[in-house]
Structure 1
């Protein structure tokens, strides 16, 4: 009988004592050189997040690693800004820094300050095109780009989020294009009647 109790207690110690270990580092502008291994809470996974912002000749990159209770990988890309999150669930699996993004063949429209006519090559798991409309300080702001499907239903304080699956499905309309189309339609109506 004592042998059964000893085996049971030994089983409890080993099964409860193993938690996932992940590398951790705060946001680093290069790579996570001085990362440390930490033990994660039960139900967590390891995650690596990376971001890149481009403005003309200026480029800023950052990477962070940690434990995460929301174990879902995703990415989004507006052309000038891209953020990715990758997750894994084995000990110290988030060691390597994220690889450079690889185009996946999908294309979506993106916006600059003047219009939304520029096309963007999606990368990695970005499988949908995105259009976001929001009111920021009284001005209507539109952002377009590539996104992972899981983020399409995310709640936010934006007025409108729409996702679609086909190439260039998020449209390239601009105010100028709509106005010119309206003017041409009115002109042809007056000329023909």
Structure 2
């Protein structure tokens, strides 16, 4: 029963911390490394490439503002070109399971 309490705590913490997105303006492709936590009301990570210059803007947007050619997604750091790996929740879950069997 304690395990369920810990899992609920970790899931609640990960939701409460807000969406994190790559944020960079007028960057060369594949060089966006800045990360920001989106303010309240911004529920999408966004990325748009300027057709003329080829530079990329990344940041947080509201769902209603996600129109073509802006690409939006709703997971942590999903607007990056580099794979982000497993999330913190998965790491904490695996740690909790290891503690259960040790």
TM-score (norm 1): 0.32
Structure 2's unaligned 5+ residue stretches are 1-8, 83-102
Structure 1's unaligned 5+ residue stretches are 1-9, 54-59, 76-83, 98-193
Judging by fraction of residues, say which structure has more helix. 2
Cα 1:34–1:15 shift into 2, 3 Å = closer
What is the Cα deviation at residue 41 of structure 1?
Answer: 1.3
Higher relative contact order (CA 8 A, sep 6+): 2
Give the structure 2 partner of residue 88 of structure 1: 73
Asked if the contact 1:46–1:87 (Cα under 8 Å) also holds between the matched residues in 2, the reply is: yes
Asked if the contact 2:48–2:56 (Cα under 8 Å) also holds between the matched residues in 1, the reply is: yes
Aligned length: 72
Alignment of 1:19 onto 2:38: no
Give the structure 1 partner of residue 36 of structure 2: 38
TM-score (norm 2): 0.56
- CA distance, structure 2, for counterparts of residue 90 and residue 63 of structure 1: 19
- CA distance, structure 1, for counterparts of residue 57 and residue 48 of structure 2: 5
- CA distance, structure 2, for counterparts of residue 64 and residue 15 of structure 1: 26
Rg larger for: 1
Judging by fraction of residues, say which structure has more strand. 1
What is the Cα deviation at residue 32 of structure 1?
Answer: 4.5
